Amino acid sequence: MKIAVLPGDGIGPEVTAEAVRVLEALALPGLTLFEGDVGGIAYKRHGVPLPEETLTMAREADAILFGAVGDPSCDTLERHLRPEQAILGLRKHLGLFANLRPAKVFAGLEHLSPLRPDIAASLDMLIVRELTGDVYFGAKGQRATDSGDREGWDMMAYSAPEVRRIAHVAFRAAAAAGHGLTSVDKANVLEASQLWRDVVVEVAAEYPQVPLDHMYVDNAAMQVVSHPHRFKVMLTGNLFGDILSDLASAAVGSIGLLPSASLGERETAFGTFGLYEPIHGSAPDIAGQGKANPMATILSAAMMLRHSFGMESEAARIETAVSAALADGFLGGDLGGSHGTAAIGEAVRARL
Ligand code: IPM
Ligand code: MG
């Protein structure tokens, strides 16, 4: 079982190190870890954010544990050299089109949410975000307008096959959980969204047991914080899912708690090939200070065991240990606590 560990920038190395220690604490036989450079650190060492050797290592692995990319000192580089291109490139090159972002308020930890506790208690949803299309990967550029002003533009497009395959992922997840599915779009304004909605309706015919509804993205943003119980499985495009998953994480209490899995179609000997990363970024303001909450990355490692290695009980062990550590008050600064990265990692391992 080969895992490519790609720590990246900012707090990435600190949080992935704790997740690796949790995996090591489980003493799983046959686990081999490789480490590679991505993001700003890769640009500084190799001149590109996603070096060929990192991509090769990622391709040859059974799963990838990813930290974060982003480095303010790289923000003025040409776009193709910026750290973010590493994660976008990995998603695209590896065909990781299905991004699973579970967001739930841990029982007993409603007080960590900025929402009223009775509302927070009902937040338990899975966001299924399309990850390799949309305005993220369309043509883009800057040009001069007729009046000689500068104009920036990005093309938003979704093809029917792109929508169909992510819709199937979401319908299967909803069917497996016995839940309904909410598809998010902006079909009242955007053609890409109209096509999205039409294709989701077509796919729905194959899942008569899954109740489907559609919601405009602006309304969805409002409902996530006012009536989160309305959502069980939410299907979104790339851009809307990016925004709504940050919103959902804030509603949980912190972006430092939410993991993600990015899956494609490739099956390995053990499960589905995937990339696992916290949904937070590199947090340059607290990088290197041992302050970052590693729980989102630790929970991402649990998702890796579940989806890429078929180890449901080990995944559940990690998740239970994280909730126990939270319940015992091991809160990072993101949750108003004072525990550091190492202390939180240690607390989780002690509860495995
Ligand atoms: C995420 C991040 C990325 C995204 C960035 C780093 C490119 O915000 O994974 O949500 O926008 O997808
Ligand atoms: Mg994001």
Q: What separation in Å is there between the alpha carbon of 85 and the centre of ligand 2?
A: 13
Contact in structure between 128 and 170 (CB atoms under 8 Å):
yes
Determine the residue of 88, 236, 282 to mutate for testing ligand 1's pocket, defined as the one with the most ligand atoms within 8 A of the Cβ atom: 88
Query: Which ligand is closest in space to the CA of residue 276?
Result: 1
Q: What separation in Å is there between the alpha carbon of 308 and the centre of ligand 2?
A: 23
List, for residues 179-226, the tens digit of each pLDDT value: 999 999 999 999 999 999 999 999 999 999 999 999 999 999 999 999
List, for residues 252-263, the tens digit of each pLDDT value: 988 899 999 999
Catalytic residues: 136, 186, 218, 242, 246
Evaluate if residue 32 carries a pLDDT over 90. Answer: yes
**Domains, the chain:** 1-101+258-352 (3.40.718.10), 110-252 (3.40.718.10)
Neighbours of ion ligand 2 (CB under 5 A): 242
List, for residues 44-95, the tens digit of each pLDDT value: 999 999 999 999 999 999 999 999 999 999 999 999 999 999 999 999 999 9
Ligand 1 pocket by C-beta < 6 Å: which residues?
Answer: 84, 87-88, 242, 279, 281
> How far apart, in whole angstroms, are the C-alpha atoms of residue 122 and residue 145?
49
Query: Which ligand is closest in space to the CA of residue 79?
Result: 1
Q: What separation in Å is there between the alpha carbon of 293 and the centre of ligand 2?
A: 17
Provide the pairing of β-strand 124-130 with 233-236: parallel
Evaluate if residue 112 carries a pLDDT over 90. Answer: no
**Full-model pTM:** 0.95
Contact in structure between 193 and 229 (CB atoms under 8 Å):
no
What is the pLDDT at residue 108?
81
What is the pLDDT at residue 106?
85
DSSP E strands, 39-180: 63-68, 98-104, 124-130, 140-144, 150-154
> How far apart, in whole angstroms, are the C-alpha atoms of residue 332 and residue 337?
5
Decide: helix, strand or coil at residue 259: strand
Residue 115: both structure tokens together: 């929402």
